[in-house]
Amino acid sequence: MKKELLNFIQELMKANPELTEKLMTDDIKAYLDAFSDNVKEKPEVTENGKAILKYMQDNPDVRLWKSKDLAEQMGSTSRIISGALRKLVNDGFCDKLGENPVIYSLADKGKNYIIED
């Protein structure tokens, strides 16, 4: 969101350089510079997400997963795994199947995701 706002402001400044020059004070410039320094790109997949994807990719014979089973097999907690799986589902790397129990499978995007060590 911050990056989108910063891009928007930069585009406005490019579109009207005369107005930017006229209204840009040192304080505004300093604030924008500080704001720009604080904008960080979020990784596409978290470290926990990468570990889950790698584990699922390395075990293609298992097609359906419960977070509890993944947690036990990966030596983690089901809470951590569930949170990471929720993000993986939202980002299209995994599919959520069913509700009780919640079952996950690897989506094509997750199957094809290359995990760099």
Can you give the pLDDT at residue 68? 93
Please give the backbone phi and psi of residue 57, each rounded to the nearest 5 degrees, phi first. Answer: -65, -35
Domains: count for the chain:
2
- The answer to whether residue 54 is domain-embedded is yes
What pTM, to 2 d.p., does this model score?
A: 0.65
Q: What is the CA radius of gyration of the chain?
A: 21
Tens of pLDDT, residue by residue, the chain (117 residues)? 677 888 888 899 899 889 888 888 888 888 888 877 766 666 789 999 999 999 999 999 999 999 999 999 999 998 999 999 999 999 999 999 988 889 999 999 999 999 886
Q: Indicate whether 68 and 105 sit together in one domain.
A: yes
Contacts (Cβ under 8 Å, ≥6 apart) of 54 = 115
| Phi and psi torsions of 98, nearest 5° | 75, 170
**Angle formed at CA 58 by CA 52 and CA 64, multiple of 5 degrees:** 65
Which residues span the domain enclosing 8? 2-37
The answer on 11 and 54 residing in a single domain is no
Q: Are residues 56 and 96 in the same domain?
A: yes
Do residues 33 and 63 share a domain?
no
Structure token digits, residue 69: 């089973």
